[in-house]
Structure 1
Amino acid sequence: MEETISLKEIMEVLKKRFGLIFLLIIGAALISGLVTYFFITPTYQSSSQFIVNQKSTESDQVDYNEIRSNVEIINTYNVVIRSPRILDEVINELDLTISAGTLREKINVGSEQNSQVVTVTATDPDPAIAVAIANKTVEIFQQDIGDLMNVDNVSVLSEAELDADPSPVNPKPMLNIVIALVVGAMAGVGLAFLLEYLDNTLKTEQDVEQKLGLPVIGAISHIKESDLSSVQYQSPNMRKRERGTFSG
């Protein structure tokens, strides 16, 4: 027979395991905060932009509008910017101690749909290095694109600048803590229902009837210590009254 659980039973389980759920939520938030503030290295971003103006050189008579769209040209440029040909020169110019593959992971190139403006974004733990990488990448790309594709249609639109008080883009403490709270709550609720499912002890008369199939003919009430102390406190007076009645 298929078992069902009511909303009341769900609330009873949550109320019963509230302490466990609360501890998991607080523990997840504390761990997230400690990891975010003490174990994750902050990273900074800086962006430089250039514009593709579709102007070809005199030696190149090819009309780009006839063979490819603006988006296709920009997509090609996006690949060239992050190629080892460009990145190796950036590493040499800035005296970086990383490989072209590592530098490639630090650079993101993108543009809005149907836009001729391309944004080069660099990420690094040092904000000054992020600015230098973004500007130098665009500079070298602008210098080399003429030799690579025999065109001169790239102009720098805006250079990356170092702010007086740069703010890291990662990690995001509040976001991480909120995510940890949600994950902790989900884990706590899941663990609460798992423990309740694994608990096969008999607690109520209904459990005896449902699981054992036996009728309940009586129940022993639970007596608290306060009830016992109250009985012990009253018994001397009762005995005294009984003695007084007997002697009279």
Structure 2
Amino acid sequence: MNDTQSPQAGSGKVEVTLLDILKLLLSKSYWLLLAGVLAGACVFLVTTFLITPTYESRVSFYVYNSSNNSVQSGTINNGDLQAAESLATTYSKILASNSILDAVLQELGPDVSLSRKSLSGMVSVSVITDTQLLEVVITSTDPAFACKVAGAFAKVAPTEIVRITKAGGVEIVDQPEIPTDKASPRTVFDTAIGVIIGVMVAAVIVILRTLADTTIYLPEDIETMAGVTVLGQIPDINSADDNYAYWTVTEEGAAKNEKE
């Protein structure tokens, strides 16, 4: 037994390095780019022709603690600010409650055929981090209707919050406006993501197919996989007229070349 033989020789395992993978991907770069372009084109077509665009209208509120907003004293102390920040979280829950939703529907009037569940799906309430500000975002496929609903929130929120909490309140910071730019889909961004995903998926498929291919193409592959040295190989001989030639042994023991 040859003691100097590699322990992995004959195991059939081939070590694949990162450099090998990079070379493989570079050699298949055309197909990777083609896959990315096709995926991006599909995303672009879907977002442009099959998805209805939506628009967002926003109204923001400033939350204060004292019922008179400290106007009489002319000062706002640290305790009021901290209390207002805590109230902002509570107010955000109130603004999404059924009580506020019903008040908004009543403000919109009977001409608007909208259920409470549908309105709830349009509304998103959030507290702006480390501030006393609340933001209500209305999402709709109709920009004018989104602004109308946001305006209804702006009108009923201050009164309803004071009625429910009996303390503190909110003041409107920014009135809602009719949006001019769609909020979704983001065609350019989504298309770019589609291109990236297409390239990544194609790269994974190329790598997996290469690793799963156990076909031996070169003599070096035998030396790598089996750990043995190739002493010789049979050349591939093609006849000029593309016909196969057969050698047979005659009765006299001589070889005879017969063409098909």
Question: TM-score with structure 1 length normalisation?
Answer: 0.75
The count of aligned residue pairs is 218
1:129, 1:138 → 2: CA distance? 14
2:136, 2:159 → 1: CA distance? 16
Which residue of structure 1 aligns with residue 93 of structure 2?
79
Which residue of structure 1 aligns with residue 255 of structure 2?
none
Structure 1 residues 191-226: Cα deviation after superposition (integer angstroms, max 9, x where no partner): 11111011111100012233455542334556899x
- Greater helix fraction, Structure 1 or Structure 2: 1
The aligned amino acid for 2:104 is V
Structure 1 residues 154-184: Cα deviation after superposition (integer angstroms, max 9, x where no partner): 3223311225xx0101111111111111111
Q: Is the 8 A contact 2:65 2:169 kept in 1?
A: yes
In the TM superposition, residue 108 of structure 1 has moved relative to its aligned partner by 2.1
Q: Alignment partner for residue 203 of structure 1, among 207, 214, 217?
A: 217
1:224, 1:69 → 2: CA distance? 91
Which residue of structure 1 aligns with residue 56 of structure 2?
45
Alignment of 1:82-161 (within 5 A): 82-94=96-108, 95-151=111-167, 153-161=169-177
Question: What secondary structure is seen at the aligned counterpart in 2 of 1:4?
Answer: coil
| Identical residues among aligned pairs (%) | 26
Question: What secondary structure is seen at the aligned counterpart in 1 of 2:159?
Answer: helix
2:47, 2:181 → 1: CA distance? 15
Which residue of structure 2 aligns with residue 54 of structure 1?
65
1:32 equivalent to 2:43? Answer yes
Question: What secondary structure is seen at the aligned counterpart in 2 of 1:169?
Answer: coil
Q: Is the 8 A contact 1:70 1:114 kept in 2?
A: no
2:22, 2:64 → 1: CA distance? 64
In the TM superposition, residue 124 of structure 1 has moved relative to its aligned partner by 0.9
Distance change >3 Å, CA 156–CA 10, structure 1 → 2: closer
Q: Is the 8 A contact 1:91 1:97 kept in 2?
A: no
2:236, 2:34 → 1: CA distance? 30
Q: Which moved more, 1:30-39 or 1:86-95?
A: 86-95
1:137, 1:75 → 2: CA distance? 17
Q: Which moved more, 1:98-107 or 1:31-40?
A: 98-107
Distance change >3 Å, CA 14–CA 86, structure 1 → 2: same
Q: Alignment partner for residue 192 of structure 2, among 175, 178, 185?
A: 178
1:182, 1:190 → 2: CA distance? 12
The aligned amino acid for 2:54 is T
Q: Is the 8 A contact 2:63 2:85 kept in 1?
A: no
RMSD, matched Cα: 2.9
Question: What secondary structure is seen at the aligned counterpart in 2 of 1:137?
Answer: helix
Which residue of structure 2 aligns with residue 17 of structure 1?
28
1:32, 1:177 → 2: CA distance? 6
2:225, 2:145 → 1: CA distance? 69
The aligned amino acid for 2:94 is V
Distance change >3 Å, CA 210–CA 90, structure 1 → 2: same
1:54, 1:14 → 2: CA distance? 61
